[in-house]
Structure 1
Amino acid sequence: MKKIFTSHFLVACIVFFMPLGILAQSSNADHIIEVKNNFYDPEDIIIQLGETVRWVNIAGTHNVNGSLDAYPDNPEHFFSGPTESGNWEFEHTFNTLGSYTYHCDDHFTLGMIGNITVVNNPTYMLVNMSQLRENDADGVPVLNEALVEVLGTVYGTNLRPQGLQFTIIDGNNKGVGIFNASGNLSYEPTEGDLIRVWGQVSFFNGLTQIEPDSIEWVSDENPLVDPEIVTDLGEETESSLIMLEEVTITNPEDWPNPGQAANIFVENTHGTFLMRIPSEVDLGNTPPNGPFDLIGIGGQFTTNIPADDGYQLLPRYASDIGIEEIEYSVVDIPALRQNNIDFEPVLLGEKVQTTAVVYGINLRPQGLEFTIIDSENNGVGVFRATGNLDYEVKEGDRITVRGTVGQFRGLTQITADEIDLVSSDNSLIPAITVNILDEATESSLVRIPEVTLLNPEDWPAPGTAANLQVENIDGIFEVRVPAAVILGFNPPAGHFDLTGIGSQFTTNIPPNDGYRVVPRYAEDMGLDISDPYMQVTMPELRENDQDGRPVLLGQPVSVTAVVYGINYRPQGLQFTLIDANNVGIGVFRASGSLDYEVNEGDLITLKGVVSEFRGLSQINAEEIEFIEADQPLVEPRVVNELNESTESRLVRLEGVNIQNSSQWVSEGSEGNVTLERNGETFVLRIQRESRLGNEAPEGLLNITGIGTQFTTAVPANDGYQIVPRYTEDIEMVSNTIDFSSGLKISVWPNPAADLLHFESNSPVVEVILFDLSGKMVLQHENINGIKSLDISNERSGQYLLMIKTETESGVVPIVIY
């Protein structure tokens, strides 16, 4: 069957194309609204008086209609012209305050409506800290949500690297928190800076703060107030610099490592108090011993109303808890690697500083884990649980590391506090050839010649870890492949020289076994993985075994095809690639976009590993190369069932109804909807990211979409679905046409197989059936009350049915199947 021609098709055949009167104006628009498939992004915005908005068409055929004819209550008129496809732009400057509504003429019934609110520049009230800190009976600021301007001095550091979180305090030791979720407004908080802040007063878990709109630096190195000695924590200590005298820590076992957060309890003769240590505050690895004076900024964290509990004290740096600046002993690596008789580092627990060259890569993406080696091939591990100390690991860098000597599973390492880059691109020493792995090879660059791999079946896929074994004439050696080390998909065959960094992993006491080699990259195992991906075609990708699983499952492949649909996984990638023959495959990546933004019609080359999820063949993407945009899309294949042959193809179901409209989900939700046609049922899948409208479409429908599958069965031969990409994929088939003269013609069922019924509000005198070429295939005159037409002998396809009355005639598109 071919595409159904509705009454919209007939109208399109006689209407001339009229381009939009749209300007690609100046490049200084204040706000950009993207015009996408049946929605504006964003749909609602607030702008300032006199600002300019630019609409940019991304996909589909649309316009911007905010005319006074459409919306008489709009304060002023704006209209882009008739609907148009292509990369058009339209700008309008709003010079009148008020609320505006606009829509797309073709799609406003599907919810393609936008709103703009024009406001005047806000007025900020100049306040002092006492006014800011005044609360009502519930502990909520009296000025909550007010726009204010305030002057204060910065205390402490920024506790939110991706935004802003710090405290400003006035000369009377009254303060307020400053918080911005993301972005620093071009200001780097520095203690002692005098700043002016404009923003909105807010209230978070008891803490009064300002969410800044702008920050002005006034001066630096301003004197700080002396901390106020207090015997209790309460509302009056919030956001002030305070001191609790002679406290001791009651839970030292919870002391955090640098880069970690913790709640620590302290007590003195006046009671027990909560000290909050944010992850951005480095107080060292060891809590203070005995009584000390605790200094910090008063805080609060409570969900109670009234907000009268949850008070805390937050130290700013180590000196606030009586810890002086740490002194590191300068040592060389042989001294670091000296062990006692129990194979423990002699310097265990000591603060040290050493300088050497980086070897290998960082094995801990959320922190640091790598090796430094000196010119004599003596090395030591470097470790940090979280955070990279502003250092990106690069082999060949010469660095100075300061930290604490530790040992983990027999491996000596430095838990880093600070790292300084000394120089880059330093030459590396050659690996030393060894025939045994022991304490002497730990953290050194070693080479084991002429080995063979004993357990190739355990070879890890990229991104996974594994323990391997190799063998030569000297014995069997353990090899550890961390998840961060990419060795390709295929293990080495035959003999090869193994290079890597000596390591250790043991639970024995003394730790004198568990020695192994850690390769740094594929070349260390004699492998070349410059391009491990096999070029394949879509039919090759889609070939399945008897269980419905891809024959190429787990293989690295490269394929070039066109993008269809949208990205269904905002935090990663999930879309479909289809070739010119309408054969496709899913694309998936759990997180990260590989610097590619999904756009339908893009021609791309995809590299990744073939996988299968719930019956759906897909490629787990590892590389994407953009080739060209705006490629033509294939015509959807009209199908009568959903099966393996429809998976990842652009298909079309014609003449279906929604069985239960209550299954339809609103935008932003996901679910399955059952479609029905002549007793057959199909599953329509609505994805959370689809924009299909909030109301189920009624009547007879033609559904276009991408075939997919979701099943747990083995073999995977059920659970087939159709996924519309956007609202244009859902076409309502009109069975009734109203003409301007008053003539009304109804035809049903449509599609039809045997009998086609018709009805008119005027007597019918003749019925003629044409195919799409205009050839007459059926004609009935002198109807005499007959209201049915036998079409059982006609071929399946699309037709035009002309119904004549005594005075006029009308044409209805129909489908015979």
Structure 2
Amino acid sequence: MKKLYFSIFYFVSCSLFLTAQVEQKKEASQDIINFNNRVGNKNIINEIDILLDENYPQYNINDILKTGLNGIAIELNKKYEVKGYIYSDNLTSQKYSVYIMDKDTNGILIEKDATVFPNFKIGDEIVVRGIVSQFNGRINIQVDTFFKTGIINNLIKPMIVKVLDESTESKLVKIEKVHLKDVKQWVQNSTSPFKVTVSNNIRLFEILISEKSTLSKLPVPFGEFDIIGFGSQDDDSPPFLENYILVPRSADDLIPRKIYESLTIKECRENDIYGKPYNLNSNVKISGIVSSPNFIAGKKLEFLLTNEDGEGIMIYNSTTNFNYNATEKQQITVWGTLKQLSGLTVVSIDTLFLDQNIKDYKSPQTIIELNEGYENTLVTWNNAVKIVNEQEWVKKSPFFDVQVTDGTSSFVMRIKENTDIFNLSNPINKTFKLSGVEIQNSNKLPYNTDYIIQPRYMSDLEIANTLIDLNEQKKLAYPNPVENSLNLIDYHHSSQNIQLTDNEGKIIMDIDQNKLNIDFSNLPSGTYFLKTNHIAESFVQKIVKY
């Protein structure tokens, strides 16, 4: 039988010279006859003699990646020889698994079961012989043998993409300006692969991080970053036309777009004589206690974050809410840029991290004037106020303003669309004590005027209620006396809250507005009071338990 050798001569400049030699040999095939890789400068010739194996026809990577309509590889289970350059370190612990690419940016994952891994490096040119396989839609080559044939000095740069699909599979790509959707997905020093979801505020991308990658050793990457990797797929059944993912190779594939400085809320609030923050436009990391609900509807964020002394700063993002529902008393850490909106200092955040601790925040402090010192602080106006002109009560998104006065001082009260106050059909026509966040709406320097109080919810308006005893009028509930179950009447649905108290005024329970009955079976016999609080008046009914 004839044995065919290829003596491959090539310059480092990638010039190739091939000569054929023919020799009689009984054996049908061998993997490697001779391997000499004498690397020198571009004037020195390197010689590698490789046995051509007819069982592994030479093929382009791009042809191996072709699929049918259902996404199944056309060349599945066929043997081929391909040539490419190594573009990743080993990505798994159990086998040798690396990505190779040709000069036309076509890439493919090659895998080989091994206990001893070859000493290949990124940039090495290798020849691979193996069988085409497919796992969860991703096309691979299961290696029978491979060997190094040279090196490449200039690696191909990743192409920037905005979507992962079939066209990006096995391509080296880069997705810009993303952030972690849920930082809890990140498992530093994981012993197995893990997935994280990132977002560019337009779409979501799934990232698969190998436990072998140096990327898995990093702490949680907060803020905005670019991510590089090979397009891949994790679709567990045909047709393989969805669940495209990105596989970064190392820590170098995650590129932070910002460096964040750890500051306190107090430091973020420090201003110059013109009311401008000293750290304006700085990228900051701050922690604090959530002290208000989210003031803005939709996929946006606007809420107050305070420290233990009650000093606060408004947290803001106009494009995403990070799937976070602002919940008072939660401790969180945010990463973002210190901005100023109409004189109000805010942190326009890139991402946030929810700590596990729950902590009370400082109650509003009573004030007699609005000034820069109380900006982003919870306050209570010293005197009761009333609305100056009820005609200003016109609901407009995202907020509307009404003038209030205590008879001496006047200022603006702002009603935000994502508060229960916004849902009132009629303005409040009584005097009330006003609490809320002091904010600012100043459009010119110096920023030391136009302060506003923005209440958080209905309980920030302490209205002088009229108490109406319903024993002789309409009833809130029946039967009365009651033995086991007290039925509530629809009348209570317009109330702010419902409470059951004992004869001494101690609250027995707060009752959900949507509840239809109250279980009295475990309560001792005696006298109780059912109370509903409305905007300007309260109703109470005496209830007797057998």
Give the TM-score normalised by the residue count of structure 2: 0.45
**RCO comparison, higher one (Cα < 8 Å, 6+):** 2
Give the TM-score normalised by the residue count of structure 1: 0.31
